[in-house]
Amino acid sequence: MEFYLPISEPLIASQLDALIRQFDPLSAGCPPLEFMQVRGMLKGFIDLVFRHEGRYYLLDYKSNWLGEDSSAYTQQAMAAAMQAHRYDLQYQLYTLALHRYLRHRIADYDYERHFGGVIYLFLRGVDKEHPQQGIYATRPNAGLIAKFT
């Protein structure tokens, strides 16, 4: 799903970083965001949006190499990769984009009721013998999404 997010006010990395660290424990352990002040339009692509039991989910495929076999794709190892690459910001922005889309498509849309969460599928770690290996799931705090909107 392609999306655009307008950035009407200057976006300053340190201010954005401070905000997301307040709401997301994963973000709190990340290296600082570093980018030039930006304004304009952010364009992105969500790999997959699906609906399950009345809730909408985002799924992002990752091909990161974390180790030789699926045992290297534990929740801790995936969280460390998420932090190192600042995928937390990616899923927060993706969530905001889907939230705005659903708000205009569902008459009685409510984040808590309709948004299920975000799934990162680390393809190299998926293992039918260990169902949680290679799958990192989270759900951005509704308060953070409200601050963005």
What is the full DSSP assignment across the chain? Answer: -EEEEEEEEEE-HHHHHHHHHHH-HHHHTSPPP----EEEEEEEE-SEEEEETTEEEEEEEE----SSSGGG--HHHHHHHHHHTTHHHHHHHHHHHHHHHHHHHSTT--HHHHEEEEEEEEGGG-BTTBTTTTEEEE---HHHHHHH-
Predicted pLDDT of residue 132? 86
CATH code for the domain in which residue 39 is found = 3.90.320.10
Residue 94 confidence (pLDDT) above 80: yes
Catalytically active residues, by annotation = 60
Looking at every residue in the chain, the average pLDDT score rounds to 95
Query: How many structural domains is the chain composed of?
Result: 1
Residue 142 confidence (pLDDT) above 80: yes
Residue 34's pLDDT band (cuts 50, 70, 90): very high
Domain that holds residue 93: 2-148
Predicted pLDDT of residue 37? 85
Predicted pLDDT of residue 8? 87
Residue 149 confidence (pLDDT) above 80: no
Residue 129 confidence (pLDDT) above 80: yes
